Amino acid sequence: MSSLENLSREDRTFPPSPEFAAQANATAALYDEAAADRLGFWAKQAEYLHWDKKWDQVLDWKPPFAKWFIGGKLNASYNCLDRHVLEGRGDRVAFYFEGEPGDARAITYAQMLHDVKKATNALIELGVKSGDRVAIYMPMIPEAAVAMLACARIGALHSVVFGGFSADSLITRINDADATLVITADGGFRKGAAFALKPIIDEALAMEPNNVRNVLVFKRTGQEVPFNSAIDIWWHDIVDRQSAEHTAEFFDAEHPLFILYTSGTTGKPKGIFHTTGGYLTQTSFTHRMVFDIKPEKDVYWCTADIGWITGHSYVVYGPLINGTTQVMYEGTPDTPTKGRIFEIVEKYKVTILYTAPTLIRTWMKWGEEFPKAHNLTSLRLLGSVGEPINPEAWIWYRDVIGGGKCPIVDTWWQTETGALMISPLPGVTACKPGSAMRALPGISAQVVNDEAVALGNGSGGYLVLTEPWPSMLRGIWGSDERYQETYWSRFEGKYFAGDGAKLDEDGAIWLLGRVDDVMLVSGHNISTTEVESSLVSHPNVAEAAVVGATDAMTGQAIVAFVILRGGIPSVGGDELIKDLKAHVSKHIGPIARPSRILVVNELPKTRSGKIMRRLLRDVAENRAVGDSTTLADPHVMKLIQSGLASSTSDD
């Protein structure tokens, strides 16, 4: 990665304020403690959980297979709920639920426990046993969390499939996990209208033979749904009549907790498989430290859907173990207005907001008038996850949403890592906008070159993890071979995350996107992320996606797709394009100057908000656009293609 050293440097640094540092959960001593005795450090964090029986051994590591807290016994659902109720916190609100149509519910820990016990008894009546797999395909409503915790309570594995996935994706996941029960809803609310889920299950189950015995259907919208009384059961018919008594059984620390599918860049989705003790230890520890949770006073809001790992670790398990009060919102950020998120922050006096760069850039595009119309002064900490956050978006987030006073935690992790891995500690770390900074205490990360040699400061390469961590995936469901091959074969003995990264002069880690997002232009490696960040730092640009298109002269040529920012007057067409090219040239260097820039209204994104550069590359190279079924909006590609055809070519 020869030229990475020459790429843009972000010199702004934001040290923690003395006021925040004085009250922070985290201290710098955590790093020393973990460095002195890593296993002792994690054992201490595990003590925070309720164990029915303590472990005999902290770690058994037979690379690449790890077992944590061997011999220990615990129950995930008990740790999330029973414990708080037994210790007198039953009246605390667990969820302030805000439905898209405006219906709202405050659900206490005692109520959650009551609901989970009844749902558990219903699962037992349906014959679900420990070790069985249950697919959950629900909108973002509290019952989705209830369903997950009911499974965990009896040791059944949940496999949550995001409610936006098609019948095709659904049946692939149901069959890969061999699920015997599907929990769903008639539908949910999105963009001001009810959408249907149940017919998609029916379509999925008709596609391939499967072992699903029952479909449990929660009534959310009241819409008409096809009903097959041989296998379908209404939630209210079976759950409501159950006893509210259920004593949790304790399972081994390594008892499977869930499977969550993540789409590989190619090929069939991978069933990432997590177990109990280590996962709960690391999710709850990181949630306490990185989000500085004060459960008696904070109102925390992670905007992720339960269908993603962020929803698992930082809506369900981490926050509930910590007794957090949180907001859960069913709908989209622009319904009924583009100020919806800010309206909810104001309504519940949210103190901690955790969201994704794609939403932050969307807010930038919409303009400041929406956040400015609301009182956001309750916010005291902001988080970012899912993609590298461009420095300009980071600054905007801090200034416009956080009123210039909130620390920002840019958290790097993956479905596979289960919990946060690289992130600032608020109150401790002086942050650089756009950098996730350093590995958390107890986590060992390196940046290595092609030969697996660890690089020093000022160099770029591949991000690897060098020691097992408690919440690491225990495998890919059904394929140990694929697990070894995907994560452990590229660099001997090290976990290869698939991300490019660089260490700056001070040793801060900068994530550069997936390694397949690195361009090779005239022999220089240039990260798409850095060119995107440079474009986004231009006052007229809200969002940018950059790809390398095959070029006879330079190997690859840089092609950029940009969305302009609302409310800012700009020079028109060709002038603006010239200006943007000059901007990147000045900011990063002439080598990074895009050869072509196209202004678009939308970018192709997956439902989890990641830009699908592969499709943009197809457009830039004049190929038929590849498989776009995982796009949140499949029409976007047509719009972009027609725009490109009519655009001016390279200058």
Q: Name the residues that contact ligand PRX, by CB under 6 A.
A: 262, 309-310, 385-388, 410-415, 436, 497-499, 511, 514, 608
CB of 414 to ligand PRX, least distance (A): 4
Residue 248 or 509: the one with the smaller Cβ distance to ligand PRX is 509
CB of 471 to ligand PRX, least distance (A): 12
Closest of 358, 327, 357 to residue 342, by C-alpha: 327
Residue 179 or 611: the one with the smaller Cβ distance to ligand PRX is 611
Distance CA 50, CA 377 (A): 36
In 449-494, the DSSP E strands lie at 459-465, 475-476
Residue 349 or 514: the one with the smaller Cβ distance to ligand PRX is 514
Distance CA 128, CA 168 (A): 25
CB of 590 to ligand PRX, least distance (A): 26
Residue 415 or 533: the one with the smaller Cβ distance to ligand PRX is 415
Query: HSE-up of 439 (CA within 13 Å, CB side)?
Result: 20
Residue 146 or 611: the one with the smaller Cβ distance to ligand PRX is 611
Residue 428 or 511: the one with the smaller Cβ distance to ligand PRX is 511
Residue 335 or 414: the one with the smaller Cβ distance to ligand PRX is 414
Distance CA 432, CA 510 (A): 10
Three-state DSSP class for 112? helix
Distance CA 323, CA 570 (A): 48
CB of 271 to ligand PRX, least distance (A): 13
CB of 406 to ligand PRX, least distance (A): 17
* Phi, psi torsion values for 391, nearest 5 degrees: -50, -40
Residue 11 burial (10 A CB sphere; 0-12, 13-18, 19+) = exposed
Pull the structure tokens for residue 82. 């029973």
Handedness of CA 410, 414, 417, 419 (dihedral sign): positive
CB of 519 to ligand PRX, least distance (A): 16
Residue 132 or 292: the one with the smaller Cβ distance to ligand PRX is 292
CB of 425 to ligand PRX, least distance (A): 15
Answer for the pair 219, 103: CB distance below 8 angstroms, yes or no: no
CB of 265 to ligand PRX, least distance (A): 11
Task: Find tokens 């692939």 and name the residue.
Answer: 172
Closest of 411, 414, 395 to residue 403, by C-alpha: 395
Closest of 8, 306, 6, 26 to residue 148, by C-alpha: 306
Residue 272 or 560: the one with the smaller Cβ distance to ligand PRX is 272
Residue 59 or 306: the one with the smaller Cβ distance to ligand PRX is 306
CB of 268 to ligand PRX, least distance (A): 16
Residue 50 or 514: the one with the smaller Cβ distance to ligand PRX is 514
> What residues contact 275, with CB distance under 8 A and at least 6 apart?
68, 253, 254, 255, 256, 257, 474
> What residues contact 225, with CB distance under 8 A and at least 6 apart?
186, 187, 196, 198, 199, 217
Distance CA 513, CA 535 (A): 16
CB of 263 to ligand PRX, least distance (A): 9
Answer for the pair 600, 643: CB distance below 8 angstroms, yes or no: yes
DSSP assignment of 16-31 equals PPHHHHHH-S--THHH
CB of 23 to ligand PRX, least distance (A): 25
Q: How far is CA 605 from CA 266, 361, 534, 538, 636, in A?
A: 16, 13, 20, 22, 9
Rg over alpha carbons for the chain, rounded to the nearest Å, is 24
Query: HSE-up of 128 (CA within 13 Å, CB side)?
Result: 31
CB of 316 to ligand PRX, least distance (A): 14
Residue 233 or 422: the one with the smaller Cβ distance to ligand PRX is 422
CB of 120 to ligand PRX, least distance (A): 28
Residue 218 or 469: the one with the smaller Cβ distance to ligand PRX is 469
Three-state DSSP class for 400? helix
DSSP assignment of 210-278 equals ----EEEEE-SS-------TTTEEEHHHHTTTS-S--PPPPEETTSEEEEEEE--SSSSPEEEEEESHH
DSSP assignment of 568-625 equals -----HHHHHHHHHHHHHHHT-GGG--SEEEE-S---BBTTS-B-HHHHHHHHTTPPP
Strand partners of residue 97: 105, 328
CB of 415 to ligand PRX, least distance (A): 3
Residue 310 or 537: the one with the smaller Cβ distance to ligand PRX is 310
